[in-house]
Amino acid sequence: MSNAAAPNAKPSGAVSLVWKSRPVFISSTFRDMHAERDHLRDNAFLRLAERLRERAHYLDPVDLRQGVEVLSESEEAQREEHILKVCLDEIERSKPFLVVLLGDRYGWIPPPERMRFAASSAGLAETVDVEGRSVTELEILYGVLENKDQRKRSRFYFRTLDRVGMPPEVSDPFPGETPSDDPSSPAGRLRALKERIRREMPDRVRNYTLSWDVERGRFEGLDGLDRMVEEDLWRDLDEETREYLRTAPATWQEADALAVADFVAERTRGYVECPAVTDPMIEFALSETVPSQEAQHWGLVVAGETGSGKSSLFGRVYEQLHKKDTEGEIILLSHAAGIYPRSGDVDRMLKRWVSELAKFLGVPDPLEIEKGASAPFTVSESGSRTETGANTGIEMEMEMGGAKGRENSPLVTSDDIEKAFDSLLGQASVKRRVVLLVDALNQFEPSVRTRGVTWLPQPKSWPRNVRFIATAIPCEASDALKNREGCLELSVPPVTPDEAREIVHRFYQRHHRTANPRVAEALMAKKTAEGRAAHGNPLWLSLALQEMNLLEADDYAQADKEYAHLPGAERILKLQLDQAESLPSDVPGVYGELLDRAARYCGEEWLSALFGVLAVSRAGWRESDLRPLVPLVSGRQWDDLAFAQARRILGPHMVQRGAHSQWDFFHASLRDALMKRGLEDERARKDIHRLVCDHFESLPASDPLRIEETMHHLLRLGDRERAAAHLAAAVYDRSPTGERPLHDFPYITTAANTLVEEIRASSDEASRKELTDWIAGLMEDEDALRSLLVANALVFYLNDALAVTGQRSTEETRFRLLQAARERLSRIREADPKNVLIANALSASLNRLGDYCRLRRMSEDAKLPFDAFLPGREILIRWSEGDERALRYYQESLDISRCCYNDNPMDRSAALNLAGALDRLGDSFFVRAVSTNTQGDFYFNQSGRDYVSRALDFYQNSLKIRLRMHDAERFDRKVLRDLSISYSKLGNLHSRRREEESEYMALKFLQKSLEIDRQLCEINPPNAQAQRDLSVSLIELGDFYVRPSHSDRGIEFRNIVDALNAYEESLNIRQQLHNSNPLDGKASLDLAFSHVKLASLKFSLIQLPQSLTHYRSAMALLESLDPDITQVSDLLQALRPYISLLEMIGP
């Protein structure tokens, strides 16, 4: 199993989640090709861009001669000189499609020494004579004629200029070369160049004529050129993009895995081996598993300061382990935090790992929800994405065997994810070594969970064939790991002088140059303020080499003047030594040097705008985003040449990566440096965030970055009105174009996740409360519909996203937001009491508030007594303030749901909502009735009779509604399961009543529930949830049979034989579920409960050996689980005395 995207063929029309950039480099002479370049930019390239979007590609035209329309000859020469410095780098970097326009001009011819310097720097073969050639011909030589691989990506268009009828002002900008038979003249060189192109690439050349339409006063021939370019380019693009779409990632898991692989490729470019660190990392990853009785080292933390090369080490180890993964020797699960938005989300990483483990094991992904189970928001409670007839957990509280009520909830919590990961990790490790490899622990979103690294299995339950390796700067997470038993630490040492010299050698080799040893030693001699060798930090060394590499022909010409007293060769050396001496010895200082140099070429304002826009991003921008944004910030039009200069100067420290080919900084420290350089002022940052938001609003609604990033920048901007509009539009698009459908799921879930990330990142309670109040304020809008839509977004999507985090801080935020939604929706409903949309949203907010209160009481106030199934024990449940508050919320919700149902009883969502509201209240009164049994008696007592009566009334009314739904939809699995739950509730309630008729009613309802569950298992035999539901129904029926009956003859057991049969069938089902996933803690706990059931019954029947066998089986299962789980530890403690007693009695 590999971390890279699997190269499986995809069906036609498949969509990739990873977008690629396709640069098109336009090469031409300058002043005489304005009309063609402008026409192609505004026509053919726009159409091609639209066609490429359907294949997950961006079109990025690169025209270094565009941006300044009117130049004198001297200004043109100056610009061509700048182009000379970057054009070959651009061709090498982007491997573009080339469009070459040639007319009657040969172009600017640089001085020979500059031409030779540019050619040698680019690695053009020395056999190619470049002296006397123009910049345009150099582009063609390097990009096409001397580069065989690029020929299939290149197109040539030769222009014939018809000057007939052209006014002088139109004709003058089209100067031609002076005719000459001399092959070394510009005209002769142009003629030879065209002849060579026609001879070597005849099928890649097209001709067109540009003439003047006297009547219309415009050029003729541009449309024909436009069609030719589009047709030719699409033919080339079609082949490559069609192939990409067949192999491109189609799931977010594949996209994330590919992002990690791309990050590794980026970080290992020019890598110099560091065996002192990588060898121990590899050895640890592949270390032998020791016998179970011996201590096992399972973890390794590789720690080092910022810029120490940890990510490169991670990349190198990834490459070696990935090879073993593809060869089937190990399973590699890798991740790099901080490399793209949401890469710092532990849950997202674990979900991807779960998916990869499930694929390896050949089992379904346990976290993937069946289609239809997670329907996006509908304007009813049924769209809340909670179980229909939502159970508030009462069965889990009262029945050790588990309950059906919430088991199919599509809300996947952090706890669910960790349990699934732990389970599959254990299963996979039985078959093969598993290595978890993580870069930058410190880049995960801040939380107690990430700081303590509690998302990893605990050492006591760590699978012995799994190894964990993580890099980090010294932080709370690395300290937490080091303090765990079995985890080692490895410090990243400074780069040694020999390693530094090798880095210097490889750097210059990559740039087709040779490093002077004296210059290299001058860099080695640099010391930091603390007296350490500056080269010990590889980031500093990389930056220093980049700055040194930028010395070019202009600098050398200046050196000839400044060091005229020295021999020629020593002048350049002296220049380089002085440059090395003046370099700052810290990373921020060298960043400053590079930025100052870039400002001299690009202009301070333009460069500040470019880097400012990049600095406020989370993971960079596409070139198509930068083109409109930078001019808005700088007040100067986009300039491809300036952009190329900025990239040339920063070199490898500005990279293109990510799912959308975004331009971003190689290292986070550059973003920090830029924030201090020009973005300290919050107003300046907000100005850029505002322009970013404006830009997103101009993009199509389906644009991936618009979906992913808008809410983040609205939060940074602090624009409440626009944020509210964004949330409202995400729920329901009110625009007349109707670009997005109702319930735009990606938009709203992404916006909700962004808000959750911001809430979780809040540093303290005060800032979290301020943010919560700001979010709640989004509902305060004069437009009632928009308030309703925002409230729906908060009640459904944000509430659900917060609910799965499992953090106390987010729970408090969730409660505050639900309260605010309830208050706002109540005010809206007062003005429009018959509006079903408002009523459903208000009912949903009330239900969630009630659920919150109930669940908080269960987790904090009540201790679940798992010894209740031992002989002579019954459950004691107490009523709390949380239940009282929940009851009030549920009653208010019921009143609203009943009104909606009465208005339209045939509406499915209204029926679902009402049945769910009735169940919630029935559960509440059931608990209240049980809580009156202060002595723990199973049966309801007299003081609880009123509560029993009310619970029964609610359950019966819910059943009536579900029976009507069943009559209309007899084979709907959701309706069937809800009906089974209703029968189960009524059966359990009647089984606690002392009246004789209640025995008959309890048996009748429990048998009906069992009958439906058997039917659901027959419909879908592999469904584990249906099998578990069946096992619960069997236990409920067995409990009924085993409890004493109150008859005229006194107390007697109802039916011991049937009880045994039910318990044994349930145990067999749970044994099969456990066997299919032995390390699933939930299945293990269920199976242990079944063993305890049978052990207790056989103990009562004096079948002591069989009882002991079941107790021991339960004990073995429980001892395999995490002892820190309260249920496990309590049950273990309760079982031990019975096992000891039975062992003492003997057979």
Q: What is the pLDDT of residues 520-578, one digit of tens each?
A: 899 999 999 999 999 999 999 999 988 888 876 567 667 778 888 887 668 778 888 88
Residue 704 falls within a domain, yes or no? no
Residue 300 falls within a domain, yes or no? yes
- The answer to whether residue 723 scores a pLDDT higher than 80 is yes
Residue 276 sits in a domain whose CATH number is 3.40.50.300
Residue 860 falls within a domain, yes or no? no
Residue 225 falls within a domain, yes or no? yes
Q: What do you get for the CA distance between the two ends of the chain, in Å?
A: 51
Task: Calculate mean pLDDT across residues 972-981.
Answer: 91
Burial of 986 (0-12, 13-18, 19+ CB in 10 A): buried
166 and 233 co-located in one domain: yes
> What band does 1135 get if pLDDT is binned at 50, 70 and 90?
confident
Judge whether 559 and 574 are in contact, CB under 8 Å. Answer: yes
Burial state string for 653-684 with b = 16 or more CB within 10 A and e = fewer than 16: bbbbbbbbbbbbbbbebbbbbbeebbbeeeee
How do residues 169-228 score in pLDDT, each as one tens digit? Answer: 888 888 888 889 899 999 999 999 999 999 999 999 999 999 999 999 999 999 999 999
Task: Calculate mean pLDDT across residues 357-381.
Answer: 59
Q: What pLDDT, on a 0 to 100 scale, did the predictor assign at position 72? A: 54
Name, of 16-25, 123-132, 331-340, the range with top average pLDDT. 331-340
Q: What pLDDT, on a 0 to 100 scale, did the predictor assign at position 506? A: 86
- In total, how many domains does the chain have? 3
Return all residues near 52 (Cβ < 8 A) that are at least 6 apart. 22, 58, 59, 237, 241
- The answer to whether residue 1044 scores a pLDDT higher than 90 is no
Show which of 461, 491, 521 is a domain's final residue.
Answer: 491
Name the one residue in this structure whose structure tokens are 């370049």. 37
**At 576, which helix (H) or strand (E)?**
helix 568-582
Residue 330 falls within a domain, yes or no? yes
53 and 73 co-located in one domain: yes
Tell me the three-class secondary structure of 256-320, residue by residue.
Answer: HHHHHHHHHHHHCCCCCCCHHHHHHHHHHHCCCCCCCCCCCCCEEEEECCCCCCHHHHHHHHHHH
- The answer to whether residue 813 scores a pLDDT higher than 50 is yes
- The answer to whether residue 732 scores a pLDDT higher than 70 is no
Residue 1094 falls within a domain, yes or no? no
Task: Calculate mean pLDDT across residues 1086-1091.
Answer: 92
Return all residues near 368 (Cβ < 8 A) that are at least 6 apart. 355
Residue 1030 falls within a domain, yes or no? no
155 and 34 co-located in one domain: yes
302 and 161 co-located in one domain: no
446 and 516 co-located in one domain: no
What is the pLDDT of the chain when averaged over all its residues? Answer: 82
Q: What pLDDT, on a 0 to 100 scale, did the predictor assign at position 166? A: 92
546 and 417 co-located in one domain: no
- The answer to whether residue 51 scores a pLDDT higher than 70 is yes
Residue-range definition of the domain harbouring residue 547: 497-564
485 and 502 co-located in one domain: no
CA 503 centroid distance within chain: 34
Strand segments, DSSP code E, in 72-223 are 97-102, 154-161, 205-213, 218-220
Residue 290 falls within a domain, yes or no? yes
DSSP string, 1065-1098: HHHHHHHHHHHHSTT-HHHHHHHHHHHHHHHHHH
Name the one residue in this structure whose structure tokens are 């793209």. 340
**Of residues 658 and 479, more confidently modeled:** 479
> What band does 352 get if pLDDT is binned at 50, 70 and 90?
very high
Show which of 475, 491, 507 is a domain's final residue.
Answer: 491
> What band does 294 get if pLDDT is binned at 50, 70 and 90?
low
Round to whole Å and give the CA distance between 466 and 212: 75
Show which of 464, 491, 518 is a domain's final residue.
Answer: 491
316 and 182 co-located in one domain: no
105 and 170 co-located in one domain: yes
> What band does 406 get if pLDDT is binned at 50, 70 and 90?
very low
Task: Calculate mean pLDDT across residues 40-57.
Answer: 87
**Whole-prediction pTM value?**
0.75
**Residue 702 in 3-state DSSP?**
coil
230 and 337 co-located in one domain: no
113 and 129 co-located in one domain: yes
221 and 85 co-located in one domain: yes
